[in-house]
A and B are shown apart, each in its own frame.
Chain A
Amino acid sequence: MSDAAHAPDAHGHPAPPGGIMRWLTTTNHKDIGSLYLWFALIMLFAAGSMALLIRAELFQPGLQLVRPDFFNQLTTMHGLIMIFGVIMPAFTGFANWQVPLMLGAPDMAFPRMNNWSFWLLPVAAILLMSSFLLPGGAVAGGWTMYPPLFIQGGVSYDLTILAVHIMGLSSIMGSINIITTILNMRAPGIALMKMPLFVWTWLITAYLLIATMPVLAGAVTMLLADRNFGTHFFNAAGGGDPVMFQHIFWFFGHPEVYILILPAFGIVSQIIPTFSRKPLFGYASMVYATASIAILSFTVWAHHMFAVGMPVAAQLFFMLSTMLIAVPTGVKVFNWVATMWKGSLTFETPMLFAIAFVCLFTIGGFSGLVLAVAPVDIQLQDTYYVVAHFHYVLVSGALFSIFAGIYFWLPKWTGHMYDETLGKWHFWLSVVGMNIVFFPMHFLGLAGMPRRIPDYALQFTDFNQIATVGAFVFGFSQLVFLAVVLKAIKGGAKAPARVWEGAEGLEWTVPSPAPYHTFETVPAVK
């Protein structure tokens, strides 16, 4: 990756500037992809440390390590950073690296805008993180930013609104780039229904981002106005309604959930056929299922608000529409299993993470189904059951798919095979650790432990202690991941162009590491 970057290549491109300027000024999709991925990794460790502090405080009842207001800052920032700073940038990093390689395009459609979309992110991250140092501390009203609580906060709340705006801009520009690339820059012969599924899922995700990010921007702008300019959008005393914020927020927030998982479906749909040595089962139904999930995601938002109180008809509508999402999601799981069926399976680290994804994401899907049922949701809303649910979806779902994708494409990116033994250690520690943290949280939620509390009643002690032990195992095992990545960048067995025996697609036709410029002449696609 780095050697290839510095020498002028056969096509007469000037060498990119060296040092930091290479990264600041780069318009190369591979460089920008790497930047997104490194940014996500740094943020993963930042927000992960916050999670460990939260779990350490919850190891036993009573207040030991942090005060309640700081605890709320930790939970809020953990959520915001993991969503906007880890999962979303990591998927965008994959899109940058892989979409042009998979479609036979020389780069993204708008390379300069690509640079700008990335470099907005560190600015937003600095705004968010520096608020820990401001008077009153960081934002503590929950990542959902519900007013009126959010109106009460100090200056860091305004910084958070600004940071959300900047991250939204970054996402919208990134999405425009991805959509334009996919629709205009496919090599001849790659019809839409022949695109790799990863590209399909990102196309749909990018549309979701463009549709919902402005909604979030509107919601936080109204918060900003209520906080600073004397408006009363969310203040009943001035004729507003605090619940209106929740409707607007979740109209963004539920499609956002799928923004965080559709690219994961895409990655897994590349990996499972590769290591099954068998084409993906039901390609067309996978595409239709992804599209159905995306469309349905705009009709289910109020299932986050069953405890707010709604008319019967609204509760029934949102319950039914939410349950309906289980159908296309089920189709996907069945298709993955059918892809493995009668394959010729091997279990390299990417495949292990992909299998864990299918199994554990399904647990998250089932707990989602339990939560879709309005009367049960009302019991479980805002409890640890919900915490367990979305961590199964976002950790063993989104994050595991990211790990799977990194192991899958790292040899292509670096030109070196990663250390398979260390990779397997990382997998087993993660999968065991993750389940020890989050499985007991189902029981805590059922038994009645609310989320977002720094201290709890004595009957919740045992499961909390188990979860904390698991959290430290899971957290520290990510250092193994860091070691694997660094080791593969430094050296290792030379990777061939077609890294995996069962790998299909254009990205495996270019050498490993992928040269700084690829597909400058349009590839022939059969």
Chain B
Amino acid sequence: MKSMGQRSGMGGAALAASQPVLAEYGYNLQAPASSVAHHVFQLHNLIMLVCLGIFVAVFSVMFYSLLKHRKSLGHRAAHFHENTAVEVVWTVIPFIILMGMAYPAARVVIDMKDTSNPDMTVKITGYQWKWSYDYLNDGIRFYSNLATPREQIDGSAAKGKHYLLEVDEPMVVPVGKRVRLLITANDVIHSWWVPALGVKQDGIPGFIRDSWFKADRIGTYRGQCAELCGKEHGFMPIVVEVVSEDAYKAWVAKKQGAAHAAAADNAKSFAVAELVERGEKVYQANCAVCHQANGMGIPGAFLPINGSKVATGPIADHIRVVLNGRPGTAMAAFASQLSDADIAAVVTYQRNAWDNKMGDAAQPAAIAAARGGTAEAAAPAAQ
């Protein structure tokens, strides 16, 4: 691995000089920010060079023939149609070139697959259509949603600089640490891809696959889901912020504090207005993709909430649908995704928004009770 490290060092220096150009025009692989991405960048350059050389050589011959061996120039056809020596040569030489390419490639494969000795481990789960990050060492867990406003997508607002590549909660990692990723999915296959870090790994529901990266530069790296996962496949970006060790520690402390605050919220009681205000944000982040901001859904595909029987019926049934989803449809179970306080807020919002003027509210305690209740109620039903 040592010689490869040295080569990547040299390549990195050459690359640093040309980086702004690459970033601006985007006609090559993104500027690598991890050792694996460096290796891949160089491997690609090497193969491109070989291919280009062969292409120019072969097609120079062909175009020479096209120019010179024309009937219109009076060229008369020769009649040779085989030559064993030539045919053996042009079978053997490509084989040797290919093996020459396979050797460095195999070394990179082996390096990519070596996920041993990580400094930290993050479990990443793909959902339709967002990601969650579980910091197994620090006990932090959060969801990461597209942050680009719908108005920008529909064209009613100007598009921002990081259009479609921005999230509400980025993944944060310290620079220079080996981060092992455990990647899976909840519903369908997704693929976690950050080009600059050289990681693309499918998340497969029911299985865990691993990958790793060691970011060598502080910065923000953006990627997208790379496996077709349904209608919002193009709208579940990934943002990784690589920060200094100190900044990472501060972020961990902040997130842990926020988790305590969220736990405290679950024990509180709120006024209807407070819940509606909080619920609107939860709704925009989790429900609006399908049910739409106006609660009308999409006819034929997603049911409306505005005026629906669930949102204007008994509140206990409403809570149950949000917690457990509707199996066999696109309606996900939010029990494991949202806190008691957030579910209470979003249920309250749905019952009081648009034309739904129920005036009632769900409190976090009711959600906690429903969680306990559903587990017991669901078990006999399943048998």
Contacts and interface: CB of A to CB of B under 8 A. Distances in A.
A359 to B, nearest CB: 6
A182 interface: no
Contacts of A284: 82
Contact of A344 (B71, B193, B202): B71
Interface of A: 61-64, 67-69, 72, 135-137, 140-142, 146-149, 152, 235-237, 241-243, 276-285, 307-309, 311-312, 315-316, 319-320, 323-324, 326-327, 330-331, 333-334, 337-346, 355, 358-359, 362-363, 366, 369-370, 373-376, 378-379, 381-383, 443, 446-448, 450, 452-460
Given A236-B204, A312-B109, A447-B26, 8 more contacts: A62-B152, A152-B330, A242-B205, A342-B77, A344-B77, A448-B224, A450-B224, A455-B164
B81 A337 contact: no
Tell me whether chain B's interface is mostly helix, strand or loop, or mixed: mixed
Contacts of A345: 65-66, 69-71, 75
Tell me whether chain A's interface is mostly helix, strand or loop, or mixed: helix
A376 B47 contact: yes
Given A340-B69, A342-B69, A443 B27 contact: yes
Contacts of B59: 359, 362
Nearest to B328: A152
A356 B76 CA distance: 23
Contacts of A341: 61, 65, 69
8 contacts: A285-B91, A330-B94, A331-B91, A340-B69, A341-B65, A366-B54, A376-B47, A448-B224
Contact of B201 (A147, A307, A316, A459): A307
| Chain A to chain B: the 5 pairs with minimum beta-carbon distance, closest first | A236-B206, A453-B234, A447-B26, A309-B209, A344-B77
A491 B87 CA distance: 45
A330 B80 contact: no
Nearest to B22: A447
Contacts, number: 280
B213 to A, nearest CB: 12
Interface of B: 26-30, 36-37, 39-40, 43-44, 47-48, 51, 54-55, 58-59, 61-62, 65-66, 69-72, 75-83, 86-87, 90-91, 94-95, 98, 101-102, 105-106, 108-110, 112-113, 152-155, 159, 161-165, 187-189, 191, 193, 195, 198, 200-202, 204-207, 209-211, 222-235, 298, 300-301, 330
A311 B113 CA distance: 8
A323 B69 contact: no
Contacts of A359: 59, 62
A379 B198 contact: yes
A460 B159 CA distance: 14
A62 B77 contact: no
A374 B105 contact: yes
A375 B103 CA distance: 12
A307 B200 contact: yes
A277 B101 contact: no
Contacts of A140: 230-231
